[in-house]
Amino acid sequence: MKIKLAASYGFCFGVKRAIKIAENTKNASTIGPLIHNNEEINRLRENFNVKTLHHISEAEGVGKAIIRTHGIPKKDLETLLNSDVQVINATCPYVTKPQEICEKMSMEGYEIVIFGDADHPEVKGVESYAIHGAHVVQSVEELEKVRFKGNKIAVVSQTTRKISEFLEITNFLETRYKEVRVFNTICNATFENQDAARELAKEADVVIVIGGKNSSNTKQLHSICKEYCKDSFLVESEKDLDPSWFVGKTLCGVTAGASTPDWIIEKIVGKISEIKV
Ligand code: F3S
């Protein structure tokens, strides 16, 4: 039986990049959790002595500080850069982009709208780059309450938002204001995993979806795979594998939810390859 991994699976590009940076840096501290995955944060602490700080004030004297994938507010970054701490920036480039846009467009006199969750660390970071502040909205209803000073508006999105909802925001603005600059800063990582799982399930005769059974993103992948390959199974660890699933199969597809670290995937793929079919 052949084993084939989906063209895109598991952690997104930005998270993988941040983990690599943390592993290579070692003995460092991150400002806020590096990524949203506790198992991986624990592994980095145990194996690479990468600690998590909860506030910038704890950074004094830490030696090396890694900036999380979601980024941090501009003034916090400046504080770090002006200190003795060595700064290693693991902000995802897809998050740096809206930060740069907010800074540039606000300098050019545009009022900034951010479509996203004001409490999310990524949005807090992006907002901090707008020199006169930004309007953070989650819906058209919230946007209707905003009183703009002029007619020049620039709009960006939190990276993980739905494009259909972003379009509602931009349509609202474009039909009411003279000059609206729209920057689609949505990252397609989740959709890439879903598209790749669909393609894999079409050709495989058994599919293993690796991820947390409570993870909505993993469950979504599982249901997509089941549509195209009825023998699709969701597993959290190698213990969940049932050898009978693989009897008579020729191609086993493997995919994983966005919060599944590579080391778990490797362990399970290793186990599948040992199963006698
Ligand atoms: Fe991941 Fe960066 Fe997108 S962290 S979800 S690739 S914005």
The CATH number that applies at residue 23 is: 3.40.50.11270
Structure tokens at 91: 């902000």
| Selected catalytic residue, list 103, 122, 174, 227 | 122
What pTM does this model have?
0.79
Closest listed residue to residue 125, CA positions, set 67, 53, 184, 186: 67
Residues 106, 172 within the same domain: yes
- pLDDT per residue as tens, the chain (277 positions): 999 999 999 988 898 899 999 999 999 999 988 887 777 889 999 999 999 999 999 998 899 999 999 999 999 999 999 999 999 999 999 999 999 999 999 999 999 999 999 998 999 999 999 999 999 999 999 999 999 999 999 999 999 888 888 999 999 999 999 999 999 999 888 789 989 999 999 999 999 999 888 776 788 899 999 999 999 999 999 999 999 999 999 999 999 988 788 888 999 999 999 998 7
User: Three-state DSSP class for 121?
Assistant: helix
Do the annotations mark residue 102 as ligand-binding? no
Number of domain units in the chain: 3
Q: Is residue 37 in contact with ligand 1, taking CB distance under 6 Å? A: no
Q: Is residue 15 in contact with ligand 1, taking CB distance under 6 Å? A: yes
What is the per-residue pLDDT for 183? 98
Residues 178, 102 within the same domain: yes
Q: Is residue 259 in contact with ligand 1, taking CB distance under 6 Å? A: no
Final residue before a domain boundary, out of 166, 182, 198: 182
Ligand 1 centroid vs 14 CA: distance in angstroms?
Answer: 5
Asked about 111 being catalytic, the answer comes back as no
Q: Is residue 189 in contact with ligand 1, taking CB distance under 6 Å? A: yes
Residues 156, 200 within the same domain: no
Residues 172, 202 within the same domain: no
Final residue before a domain boundary, out of 182, 212, 228: 182
What is the per-residue pLDDT for 64? 96
Which value does ipTM take for this structure? 0.98
Q: Concatenated DSSP letters for 184-243?
A: -----HHHHHHHHHHHHHHH-SEEEEES-TT-HHHHHHHHHHHHH-S-EEEESSGGG--G
Ligand 1 centroid vs 180 CA: distance in angstroms?
Answer: 26
Note down the domain range covering 132: 94-182
Do the annotations mark residue 132 as ligand-binding? no
Q: How many whole angstroms from its chain centre is CA 159?
A: 8
What is the per-residue pLDDT for 161? 82
Final residue before a domain boundary, out of 59, 91, 123: 91
Q: How far is residue 108 from each of residues 54, 103, 260, measured CA to CA in Å?
A: 34, 9, 41
| CATH number assigned to the domain comprising residue 135 | 3.40.1010.20
What is the per-residue pLDDT for 81? 94
CA distance from start to end of the chain: 7
Structure tokens at 146: 């905003």
